[in-house]
Structure 1
Amino acid sequence: MSVAVYFEQFAIGASRSSPTRTITETDIVVHAGHTGDFFPHHVDAEFAAKTPFGQRIAHGTMVFSIGIGLAASEVNPASFSYGHDKLRFVRPVFIGDTIQTRITVIEKMDDPRKPQYGRVTERCEVVNQRGETVLVSDHIRMVEKAPETLRQA
């Protein structure tokens, strides 16, 4: 079910967590096929064993895609994604790691070009099963301001 959550209803500091998901070898192989990124750090166990990580690592872009997908648990018809800023791959993710995304509202501002919208920035932190942050990005959402009738209520 879709419920409109308007700009005024977002609170700085509000947070939520996604479900968890374990990263598999299949995830890595499929992602390599989709993107063409067959770097040996991801797909060659013998090569990866000789790196400082000692094993294959998940593609950062895959961890981002899965982590953000896990966070997409609700449909808000009053909001759409404007994009992500400050994306960082903080730690490697290995086959068998379980990830989860924590989302926290960190900023709200009026949109300078569209007065009927505001921008809500959410810090997205993907963490592993040990609670270590593996990826961080700031998701900017364009969110409709409440209709005048709701603001007066």
Structure 2
Amino acid sequence: MIDHPFPELEVGQVKTSRGRTLTETDVVNFCMLTGNWLEIHANTEFAKSALYGQRLVQGSLVFAIVNALIPFDSTVVEAFYGVDRLRFLKPSFIGDTVWARTKIIDLRAKKDGAGVAVSELLGVNQRHETILRCEFSLLIRGQRLAPTGSDPFSSMEFPES
């Protein structure tokens, strides 16, 4: 999503992700992690008589997956700054494939050349339905941070072959 320091970003820049299928394993693991065992997510028989006739993937899981589909460059992203106007526009089901698209809609400078990049984040499914929309904000560094000590082999000696 953001792969340049703040001074190099421009309003209007767009990134699109690869696709990812939402699975039974995702839903069960998320139930375990969060304790969200609502029957609409965890009980097939209950869900058959509900509005959509099948289990729904948890909205918070859909948001987490869609937002993570856009890669982040850790050398320029300082922190997640917030999310506003999050709306789930269509339900997501086990077996749906989702994609993400971001478009920078605002840039707010901070000190030392850093700033907040606000992007519109859209999630779309294989039926070309927009499943979620929000404004997603990241704190972006003014310059690239060089990772230190990230090469564990740099101080090792290897025998000649």
Task: Give the TM-score category using the shorter length.
Answer: 0.7 to 0.9
Which structure has the greater CA radius of gyration? 2
Gaps of 5+ in 2: 145-161
**Quick one: which of 111, 116, 121 aligns to 1:119?**
116
Q: Percent identity?
A: 33
Structure 2 distance, partners of 1:42, 1:36, is 11
Aligned twin of 1:78 = 76
- The equivalent residue for 2:86 is 87
SS in 2 for 1:61: helix
- CA deviation after TM superposition for structure 1 residue 137, in Å: 1.9
Structure 2 CA distance for partners of 1:37 and 1:105, relative to 1, 3 Å = same
Change (3 A) 1:146 1:27: closer
How far did residue 116 of structure 1 move? 3.4
Question: Contact (CA 8 Å) 2:121, 2:134: kept in 1 or not?
Answer: yes
- Work out whether residues 7 and 113 of structure 2, in 8 Å CA contact, stay in contact via their aligned partners in 1: no
- Aligned-residue Cα RMSD (Å) equals 1.9
- Name the residue aligned to 1:150: none
Q: Distance in 2 between matches of 1:43 and 1:122?
A: 33
Structure 1: tracts of 5 or more residues without a match: 148-153
SS in structure 2 at match of 1:63:
helix
Is 2:7 aligned against 1:8? yes
Residue pair 1:123, 1:138 contacting (<8 A) in 2 also: yes
1:1-153 alignment runs, 5 A limit: 5-71=4-70, 73-80=71-78, 81-111=80-110, 114=111, 116-145=113-142
Q: Give the C-alpha shift of residue 133 in structure 1.
A: 0.9
Aligned residues: 142
TM-score by length of 2: 0.81
Per the normalisation by structure 1, the TM-score is 0.85
Partner of 2:41, secondary structure, is helix
Question: Equivalent residue of 2:45, what SS?
Answer: helix
